[in-house]
Amino acid sequence: MPPPYPEITAPLRPQQIEDALADLATTFPTLCTRTVFTGKTHEGRSHSYLKIANGTGERPAVLVTGGVHAREWAPPDALVTFARNLLVSFQSGTDITIPAMEVTPLTGPPVRYRPWKIKASDVAGILNKVDLYIFPLVNPDGREFDLTPPIDPIGWRKNRRPPPPAGGDIGVDLNRNFNIAWKFEDYYDLPLYVSRYGEEPAKRTPVGDINQLYRGPNEHSEQETRNVESLLDTLPVHYYVDVHMFGRKILHSWGLDGNGNDPAMSFTNPAFNNKRDGMIAGDPALPLGRTDYKEYLPDDPPHKIRSRAVFIANAMRDEILRAANGGATPPAASSPQQNHSDYEVGPSAFLYLPVGGGPTPGCADDYACSRQFVNPARKPIFAYTIETGHPEEQGFHCNYANPPGHFRKINREVHAALLALLKVAAASPLAPPAPSPRPPNSGPCLIATATMGDAGHPDVVFLRALRDERLRATPRGARLADLLDRVYYSFSPAVARYIEGRPRARTAVRLLVIRPLVAVLRRALGTGKGGRR
């Protein structure tokens, strides 16, 4: 159908999504190409992806996927809407306007959001300089099942692989099926992992798969997984985003383990098989004298992969906040718009700590990141998972009606995050990312850093961001932060030096002070666990 396109007011069925992609390729033939995968799903469905670009030649490529997990309704629909909006804007030369909206959380009063625009000049800059690939629905069989009444409030996560002849449950968790540490019992010291997290990172058999985490009979056993892998293997992808829900989180590499500097500590190195601990730096569960394994992710110039990964993730978070305020600045700290739109940024492996969850093998974003190490001739690949939505927006099954407007808000946030990443891609090659701005009177979290052993530890980053960003977002908060800094730095250097030289003191402060404090603050600020990626 020709534009203008109607607003999506109910979750699209898989065939509707395929029809929408075919329509875009027909309506915008010079800007949009649709490719249908040759393989079909277990239930015989075909699925496809779009390439959106104006021009040819060597350009940065961005791949965006959605719908890996069936019950996550919003991402495929938001990606279809995003593709439509980009194409209409480029062809007509008009801005993309996301209208004002009122969104009602499940608890609490409605929140009003101003209209927000994506400039036509930004759209033109993106399509003229970037090859954008959008694969909105990776798991059509699972989505069709989840959308078929009666709707299960928990939802269906997996695809619809038939159970084996010997018996078991239907389906494979596609985000445990990618060929990256798929055989986790070899990758990790599994007894140590289970003692720390209480369970294995995926299910090895389809029997009793209550949490829907069955990894499949083999790595990339599923057609849906192979489709994504084929794009990452054959296209010159420089940026990859996998859109999930829920939890308001932006996850960057790695998800296998913490990030490290030692090239020998790599998923490609069998010398570390059955020795990788999967624990965050300073975890008291790590046996004494044991080397803490950290998956290699370099931060050397010119690419500075680790720093740039964080830089881009923060850019996506910041654009979501600006969109929530309808303009060039984020909303005021502690305003309803800020409180209901603030995404947490961190590495995939540990962002759900301390409230639960651990490293996860076999995921799409780690497979994407791994391509540059399997083939060192490739350009760096920056891979992300976005967990959009929130329990207050009805979790996986967000409400499309207006009110309450849950899908409209999630759709805006997906647009904002992808806009930020695409603007970065269009500006490639990047200069080295500038250090995050820090107020002049602000310094490192000395005690937390000494206790956790790493200034980049997620708990340290969380505390520093709470002080330097949230607290200083208002004049009153900035004055309070200055007072706290003066008091803190009057004693913290001496305490930090004392802790650094005494392992027992470090452990006591970590277990009795830092971890409980961060857990309480995360829960109070709504940055706890959502859906597992």
- Cβ(514)–Cβ(453) under 8 Å? no
pLDDT value, residue 436:
42
Spatial neighbors of 81 by CB under 8 A, at least 6 apart, are: 5, 8, 411, 415
pLDDT value, residue 242:
98
Spatial separation of the C-alpha atoms in residues 290 and 83, rounded to whole Å: 49
Tokens of 240: 């990859």
Spatial separation of the C-alpha atoms in residues 310 and 433, rounded to whole Å: 9
At 295 the three-state DSSP class reads strand
Q: Which residues are tagged catalytic?
A: 387
Spatial separation of the C-alpha atoms in residues 472 and 479, rounded to whole Å: 8
pLDDT value, residue 455:
53
At 370 the three-state DSSP class reads helix
Pairing between strand 344-347 and 237-245? unpaired
pLDDT value, residue 257:
94
- Cβ(510)–Cβ(284) under 8 Å? yes
pLDDT value, residue 453:
61
Domain residue extents for the chain: 1-434, 446-524
* Nearest C-alpha neighbor of 378 from the set 454, 474, 437, 303: 303
Question: The domain 1-434 belongs to what CATH superfamily?
Answer: Zn peptidases (3.40.630.10)
Residue ranges of alpha helices (H) inside 38-139 are 74-92, 120-129
Spatial separation of the C-alpha atoms in residues 241 and 246, rounded to whole Å: 15
Spatial separation of the C-alpha atoms in residues 485 and 375, rounded to whole Å: 47
- Cβ(53)–Cβ(143) under 8 Å? no
Strand partners, 485: none
At 465 the three-state DSSP class reads helix
pLDDT value, residue 354:
56
Spatial separation of the C-alpha atoms in residues 84 and 89, rounded to whole Å: 8
Spatial separation of the C-alpha atoms in residues 235 and 148, rounded to whole Å: 35
pLDDT value, residue 51:
98
- Cβ(53)–Cβ(134) under 8 Å? no
Q: Is 347 exposed, middle or buried (0-12, 13-18, 19+ CB in 10 A)?
A: buried
pLDDT by residue for the chain (533 residues), tens only, comes to 678 899 999 999 999 999 999 999 999 999 999 999 999 999 999 999 999 999 888 899 999 999 999 999 999 999 999 999 999 999 999 999 999 999 999 988 999 999 999 999 999 999 999 999 999 999 999 999 999 999 999 999 999 999 998 889 999 999 999 999 999 999 999 999 998 888 899 999 999 888 899 999 999 999 999 999 999 999 999 999 999 999 999 999 999 999 999 999 999 999 999 999 998 888 888 888 888 999 999 998 888 899 999 999 999 999 999 999 998 899 998 899 999 999 999 999 987 665 556 899 999 999 999 999 999 888 899 999 999 999 999 999 999 998 899 999 999 999 999 999 999 999 976 444 444 443 334 445 657 666 766 555 666 666 766 665 555 544 566 567 667 766 766 676 667 667 766 777 777 887 788 778 876 776 565 444 456 67
